[in-house]
Amino acid sequence: MSDDQSTKFAQSQALFILALVSGLLLFPPQKSNSLHAQGLDARAIAVAVEKQLITAIEKSEKSVVAISKIKTKKQQFQSRVPAPFGLDPNQQFNESQNPQNLSFIPNEFGSGILIPDSTNQKRTLILTNYHLTQGGPVEGQKTIPENRIYIHTVNRRGFYAEIIAADPRSDLAVLVPARDLPREYAQSLTPIKYGNTESIRKGQFVIALGNPYAIARDGSPSASWGIVSNFHRFPVPVKKHFFDQEIAKEETLHHFGTLLQVDTRLDLGTSGGALLDLDGNLIGITTSLAALDGYEKSTGYAIPIDNSTKRIINSLSAGLEAEYGFLGIQPTTIERSQARHNFIGNSPLRDPFYVSAINVKQHSPAQLAGMQPHDLILSINGKKLTNHLELMREVGKAGAGNEVKLQILRGRKPRELTLTVKLGKWPVVDDEGIVQTQYRHPLWRGLRVDYPTARSKFTYSPFSYPPAVVVTHIDPESPAQLAGLKEGTFISHINNQAIKTPDLFYQEVQKISNSQQVTLQLLDGRKVILPPIK
């Protein structure tokens, strides 16, 4: 943003406050009988608003950190925007420079939030955006990373951090200190408190804390304020094709309309920052607009910290892959006139658009729950649907293995039905982008399995749902490898017991002792014998 634009933005905020106070002067409380009293009332309200902003910021600012991503090798950083405040984007960096020195300007930077540890391990956890952590060090890995990640906290202190899990689909990542922090320092790092996103309304005042242009390296985040502009906003849609994996990698959960639009100042570097309510509680994680065509826009977006986002954060905090729900249908949005063709007599359809299942995949969660082609899906878990993107968003947010209730309309003589669906797993395209340091299930005889759609590269086509589990990992020299099993193999039975989910697989193998021989039947009909373990 230019100096002129910044001045105009500041003027607009000042004018807003002036208009607010002027309005209070023009329409004072009925009990005020004098102009002097009116002025005092208006000023008191303005001061109360100011005090509330200050209190909210003071409550949470110590929970917001600045992040520096530093190249491990001397490299030149090419900037797409003019350098602000005299910073030289073509300056060269290397890891020997000290990020605690305020004169050190990182080549890549952003924000993060200290969050509670849902695993009760009392660790220091930092939530941030996935795109800020790419190429960073992973906890437990010995390879030299492309980047190092430095966290700047209060009192000009800081530490290097590692990734415990990162998820490209939600654009979220959780970091931990690379080394144990001194006890006194760790205790001074206060996790933020979560707010209630269910009560957020358009026009609600919000506060953003972040690290614009890397100027929060002293541990003091910069604040801005504004309002919630809208809900369920969509980034520019990804024009993907089922068989073009590279394009499909660009798609995130947010392309289905999860984001809050806010008009706070979200300049370069405020991605990963905190969006607060007026009580200073966390209601979103900001993601600033990238530099577009050489200039900045002050409006931006935030990922709401709702229950589904907390589910993702909790998975990442445990070092696990974040999993998304999968229904197994091809949905589409149709107009009311088109939907009415499926009915006779008096049509119950009153809304302009409806969600229809074009087809239902065989063996899919939807088919197992009783869904049929041409069913109209009216709502999911009580939330009314107006287009198929909303259905895909809510199914994805619900998570793999969880149940959802679908209200549907079916038949020439329409009747409403409620279907309970236990969801499968959304096919991961960008599996190389996922960072996880823990797994939901242990290795069994050298193999690990997942939902049949766990990785799109293993699924036969986007139009099938194999009634099996897929092998996602084989340990070298293990019984599984010696028996000829490979990654991508589909297993449909264990000792003649049909299995369609990883939970069922691991329930069955727990019944088998090491001294037993095991027969695995593959989806193509072949049988593989795993000998007893001596």
Query: DSSP assignment of 434-456, as one string?
Result: -EES--SS--BTTEEEE-TTSBT
Name the class of domain 439-530: mainly beta
Domain ranges of the chain: 62-188, 328-422, 439-530
What is d(CA 391, CA 387) in angstroms, rounded to the nearest whole number? Answer: 7
Q: Are 179 and 329 in contact (CB under 8 A)?
A: no
Name the class of domain 62-188: mainly beta
Task: Give per-residue burial for 24-41: e unless 16+ CB within 10 Å, then b.
Answer: beeebeeebeeeeebeeb
Q: What predicted TM-score, i.e. pTM, was given to this entire model?
A: 0.86
Other CB atoms within 10 Å distance of the CB of residue 185? 16
What is d(CA 289, CA 265) in angstroms, rounded to the nearest whole number? Answer: 10
What is d(CA 99, CA 160) in angstroms, rounded to the nearest whole number? Answer: 10
> 233: number of CA atoms within 13 Å, CB side?
18
Of 425, 406, 428, nearest to 417 (Cα)? 406
Judged by DSSP in three states, 377 sits in: strand
What is d(CA 317, CA 114) in angstroms, rounded to the nearest whole number? Answer: 12
Query: What's residue 273's pLDDT?
Result: 95
Indicate the Cα dihedral angle 408, 409, 415, 416, nearest 10°: 30
Q: Report which residue type is found at 35.
A: L
10 Å CB burial of residue 105 (0-12, 13-18, 19+) is buried
Q: Are 147 and 110 in contact (CB under 8 A)?
A: no
Question: What is the Rg, in whole angstroms, of the alpha carbon atoms belonging to the chain?
Answer: 27
Query: What's residue 315's pLDDT?
Result: 97
10 Å CB burial of residue 296 (0-12, 13-18, 19+) is buried
Query: What's residue 437's pLDDT?
Result: 96
The pair of three-digit structure tokens given for residue 164, joined into one six-digit string: 């415990």
Q: Give the long-range contacts of residues 341-349, CB within 8 A, separation 24 or more.
A: 342/374, 342/376, 342/412, 343/411, 343/412, 343/413, 343/414, 344/412, 344/413, 345/413, 347/414, 348/409, 348/414
Query: What's residue 201's pLDDT?
Result: 93
CATH of segment(s) 328-422: 2.30.42.10
Task: Give per-residue burial for 206-232: e unless 16+ CB within 10 Å, then b.
Answer: bbbbbbbbbbbbebbbbbbbbebbeee
What is d(CA 382, CA 404) in angstroms, rounded to the nearest whole number? Answer: 10
Query: What's residue 10's pLDDT?
Result: 44
Same CATH topology for 328-422 and 439-530? yes
Other CB atoms within 10 Å distance of the CB of residue 201? 8
Looking at the chain, how many residues does it have? 534
What is d(CA 216, CA 406) in angstroms, rounded to the nearest whole number? Answer: 47
Query: What's residue 122's pLDDT?
Result: 86
Q: Are 326 and 403 in contact (CB under 8 A)?
A: no
Per-residue pLDDT of the chain (534 residues; tens, 9 = 90+): 444 444 444 444 544 454 454 444 334 444 545 555 555 688 888 889 899 999 999 999 999 999 999 988 644 334 334 444 333 433 433 444 678 777 777 889 999 999 999 888 889 999 999 999 999 999 999 888 999 999 999 888 999 999 999 999 999 999 999 999 999 999 999 999 999 988 899 999 999 999 998 888 888 999 999 999 999 987 665 555 545 556 667 788 888 889 999 988 788 888 999 999 999 999 999 986 543 334 445 568 999 999 999 999 999 999 999 999 999 999 999 998 888 877 755 667 889 999 999 999 999 999 999 999 999 999 999 999 999 999 999 999 999 999 999 999 988 778 899 999 999 999 998 888 999 999 999 899 999 999 999 998 888 565 679 999 999 999 999 999 999 999 999 999 999 999 999 999 999 999 999 899 999 999 999 999 998 887
